[in-house]
């Protein structure tokens, strides 16, 4: 039996979208391939409120996170982390020999504009990373406000991780002054995993031009230049199957209406949060609670593992807490194409299993 996914990625994929994956192949150097890339770009630009170039990578989102920090840090990166995925940028920097400092807060808290200002005011950094939506803790950072601070430092390349929020929450790349915004297909975009997507600004491109050892496959400058020079094509063979599905899914997202889609996510988040507060507690600062995934504090000391086993028998699955938060918290994702009705059905089943 298929278990409906209420985990923060991969998320449920509609069958018509899945079917697009079986579109017959085209040459990746053909005009059709260029048309496909261009079509995806135009729609992604609308979704992310940007006029910057859109790049795709046949990797998961982590690919472009690594590409960004390696290709665009000349001096030193300031990595702001509020959980597991924030720290991932730091590990990527270390693994690539990129100079970086990690600025962490206690899990459940958010990154403040003041923290970023203080770090950047030292003049030590020329790149900063911030997680928009931290999936391990269910925290959504105020990236717009942080962006206002970053704008005071014109030499700093501003990178954000929107892997678990793009297409589920409004992300205004240009207004927020974001240079590289990274996401991937398998979360709020509701597609199978296998493509990373990012926006890239002129500033980021200019920086990459000054950085040596950008690597090969994840050299973001090479991907950018190829897109320009080769008429919207890629240095290596991209995941065309997923590109067909992405192009189609973006049409469906436009049909739903971008704002409507964000509103639907907000509604689902509000519903899950009030359920969590009634029966448990929210993990983390409510003011910064995520619109795509809710982390619930396990105040009743239930066995999350057992709950999930029972949910599985009924055709649902949720996520345990991340890392050290396992069993201390659990996470319910409400992102992608899932509806409020489906969320209600899940919670009714949890109520029934736990006798709430
Ligand atoms: C899932 C996730 C990632 C990792 O993305 P992949 O596509 O699995 O590489 C990074 N950041 C956040 C916030 C995530 O939720």
What tokens appear for 163 in the block? Answer: 């892997």
> Which residue, 227, 254, 281, sits at the end of a domain?
254
C-beta 192 within 6 A of ligand 1: no
Would you state the pLDDT for residue 287?
98
Return the axis-axis angle of helices 340-354 and 258-279, rounded to nearest 10°.
10
The reply to whether 345 and 196 lie within a common domain is no
The reply to whether 334 and 243 lie within a common domain is no
Give 256-303 pLDDT, tens digit per residue: 999 999 999 999 999 999 999 999 999 999 999 999 999 999 999 999
Give 128-155 pLDDT, tens digit per residue: 999 999 999 999 999 999 999 999 999 9
C-beta 96 within 6 A of ligand 1: no
Containing H/E element for 92? helix 84-95
CB–CB of 141/165 below 8 Å?
A: no
pTM: 0.98
3-state helix, strand, coil in the chain (%, to 5): 45, 20, 40
Distance 255 CA to ligand 1 centre (A): 26
Distance 231 CA to ligand 1 centre (A): 29
Distance 183 CA to ligand 1 centre (A): 8
CB–CB of 150/158 below 8 Å?
A: yes
**pLDDT confidence bin for 228, thresholds 50/70/90:** confident
Percent of the chain residues topping a pLDDT of 70: 100
To test the pocket of ligand 1, the residue of 107, 135, 137 to mutate (highest count of ligand atoms within 8 Å of its CB) is 135
Give 52-68 pLDDT, tens digit per residue: 999 999 999 999 999 99
Q: What is the mean pLDDT of residues 312-326?
A: 97
Distance 50 CA to ligand 1 centre (A): 21
Residue 120 pLDDT > 90, yes or no?
Answer: yes
Would you state the pLDDT for residue 105?
98
- CATH for 144: 3.40.640.10
Give 62-113 pLDDT, tens digit per residue: 999 999 999 999 999 999 999 999 999 999 999 999 999 999 999 999 999 9
Distance 111 CA to ligand 1 centre (A): 18
The reply to whether 303 and 315 lie within a common domain is yes
**pLDDT confidence bin for 118, thresholds 50/70/90:** very high
Instruction: Please state the atom number of ligand 1 nearest to the C-alpha of residue 63.
Output: 9
C-beta 163 within 6 A of ligand 1: yes
Smallest Cα–Cα separation from 98: which of 238, 218, 182? 218
**pLDDT confidence bin for 193, thresholds 50/70/90:** very high
Residue 231 pLDDT > 90, yes or no?
Answer: no
Q: Is 16 inside a domain boundary? A: no
The reply to whether 203 and 315 lie within a common domain is no
Would you state the pLDDT for residue 71?
98
Q: Where are the alpha helices (DSSP H) in 122-257?
A: 143-150, 202-210, 220-229, 240-256
What's the domain range around 323?
4-9+257-354
Average pLDDT, the chain: 97
The reply to whether 209 and 272 lie within a common domain is no
Instruction: Please state the atom number of ligand 1 nearest to the C-alpha of residue 162.
Output: 13
CB–CB of 250/103 below 8 Å?
A: no
Q: What is the mean pLDDT of residues 210-216?
A: 97
State the total domains in the chain.
2
CA 70 to chain centre: 19
Would you state the pLDDT for residue 232?
86
The reply to whether 107 and 203 lie within a common domain is yes
To test the pocket of ligand 1, the residue of 66, 111, 163 to mutate (highest count of ligand atoms within 8 Å of its CB) is 163
Residue 189 pLDDT > 90, yes or no?
Answer: yes
> What is the rounded distance in angstroms from the CA atom of residue 330 to the CA atom of residue 307?
10
Instruction: Report CA Rg, the chain.
Output: 20
C-beta 81 within 6 A of ligand 1: no
C-beta 135 within 6 A of ligand 1: yes
The reply to whether 114 and 248 lie within a common domain is yes
C-beta 11 within 6 A of ligand 1: no
Smallest Cα–Cα separation from 41: which of 31, 57, 53, 58? 53
The sign of the torsion formed by the CA atoms of 18, 24, 25, 26 equals negative
> Which residue, 239, 254, 269, sits at the end of a domain?
254
């Amino acid at each position: 039996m298929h278990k409906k996914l209420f985990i923060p990625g991969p998320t449920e994929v509609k069958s018509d979208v899945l079917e697009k994956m079986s579109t017959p192949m085209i040459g990746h150097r053909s005009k059709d391939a260029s048309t496909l890339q261009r079509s995806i770009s135009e729609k992604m630009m609308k979704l992310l409120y940007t006029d910057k170039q859109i790049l795709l990578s046949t990797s998961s989102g982590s690919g472009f996170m690594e590409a960004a920090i390696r290709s665009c840090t000349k001096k030193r990166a300031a990595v702001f982390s509020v959980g597991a995925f924030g720290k991932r940028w730091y590990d990527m920097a270390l693994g690539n020999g990129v100079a970086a400092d990690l600025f962490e807060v206690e899990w459940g808290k958010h990154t403040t504009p003041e923290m970023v200002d203080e770090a950047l005011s030292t003049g030590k950094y020329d790149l900063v990373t911030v997680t928009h939506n931290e999936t391990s803790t269910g925290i959504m950072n105020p990236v717009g406000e942080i962006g206002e601070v970053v704008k005071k430092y014109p030499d700093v390349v501003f990178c954000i991780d929107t892997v678990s929020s793009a297409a589920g929450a409004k992300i205004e790349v240009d207004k927020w002054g974001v240079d590289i915004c990274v996401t991937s297909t398998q979360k709020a975009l509701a597609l199978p995993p296998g493509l990373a997507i990012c926006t890239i600004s002129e500033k980021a491109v200019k920086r990459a031009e000054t950085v040596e050892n950008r690597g090969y496959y994840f050299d973001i400058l090479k991907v950018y230049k190829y897109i320009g020079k080769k008429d919207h094509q890629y240095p290596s063979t991209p995941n065309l199957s997923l590109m067909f599905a992405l192009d189609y899914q973006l049409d469906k997202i436009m049909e739903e209406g971008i704002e409507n889609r964000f509103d639907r996510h907000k509604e689902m988040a509000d519903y899950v949060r009030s359920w969590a507060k009634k029966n448990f507690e929210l993990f983390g600062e409510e003011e910064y609670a995520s619109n795509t995934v809710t982390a619930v504090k396990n105040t009743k000391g239930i066995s999350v593992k057992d709950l999930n086993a029972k949910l599985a028998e009924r055709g649902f699955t949720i996520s345990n807490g991340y890392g050290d938060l396992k069993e201390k918290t659990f996470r319910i994702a409400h992102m992608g194409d899932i509806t409020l009705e489906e969320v209600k059905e899940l919670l009714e089943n949890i109520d029934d299993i736990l006798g709430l």
